[in-house]
Structure 1
């Protein structure tokens, strides 16, 4: 048995459509009397948050970066400075650099974007360069799933120390 409801002006010729009286239609029932659930919305902030939770910025490949950004844009995220900065770590941009300046890279090689960005921030501070964009980008990376806590801190500290030592010896 199917149950339907008409509403608004179509319910009765004497009724005029009025926002306060305009009631949405009742759910459609199947013969077994169970409601048909609505399809989940594949776009919007919740969809973007779900996508972000699936990726670990401390262990992500350039190919995965491009895939993730494409998914986020399809889910309704705005193309903004943070996503553009993230794309510089993606396969498309890195391949462009390799084609332009020579060399090769592995689009499947995992990288730690959080540690790399923190090293860049440390070096920018050391040389008196602007840091606002890196600080904002690191905060953006922290909104993704992935490594956190003591292990991330140890990784970051050892990476920064190694780069500072390498720069001091040159």
Structure 2
């Protein structure tokens, strides 16, 4: 019984803000302050989005279409070779490049999980530098393979990445 009286008294209490303006009158100071603060926050979000977009555009412009360019920093990659046609597995293509660099073809190593069907690549060069062959390979399989060439040890390392990770995660 006491519980019912207590609940009914709570349900009947209706207190309103007597200082609040009527809905048809102009908004109070709190509403105006909220509106100005929310507008400032929206402006900040827009400026941050613009900064993020500009930094991404400059990063893409610096790397040239989002990928790093292969440069001929050691002798051999700038050498023009006569005819180079290879429609084969990635390791075989890199072994052919190693032979053209006068390196041992057994110095091409693979690390990681190679796909079961292999990694087919197609490289065609006609009196063009050997660096172009590496660029062609990078375009075809660069999204899941890292190729590292070490001229000091005359080795080529093929690192297979998992397909779920991004290219930037392996840099």
Q: TM-score higher than 0.5 here?
A: no
Higher helix share: 1
TM-score by length of 1: 0.23
Q: Which has the higher contact order (CA 8 A, sep 6+)?
A: 1
